Amino acid sequence: MTKNEIANILKDYHWMLNSIKVMRESLNEVSSKVAQYGIEASMPHAKGDPGDPVFADVVRRSKYWKKIEAYEKKVLYIQDRVHLITDDRESEVLFWILEGKSYRRIAQHMGLSKTNIQRIRDSIVDQLSENGTNGTNGTRGTNFSKQKPAC
Sorted by where each begins, the domain ranges of the chain are 3-31+54-130
HEC string of the chain equals CCHHHHHHHHHHHHHHHHHHHHHHHHHHCCCCCCCCCCHHHHCCCCCCCCCCHHHHHHHHHHHHHHHHHHHHHHHHHHHCCHHHCCCHHHHHHHHHHHCCCCHHHHHHHHCCCHHHHHHHHHHHHHHHHHHHHCCCCCCCCCCHHHCCCCC
Q: What pTM does this model have?
A: 0.68
pLDDT in tens, 47-67: 555 567 778 778 888 888 899
Q: How confident is the model at residue 30 (pLDDT cuts 50, 70, 90)?
A: low
pLDDT at residue 149, as a whole number: 46
Are 127 and 89 in contact by the 8 Å Cβ rule? The answer is no
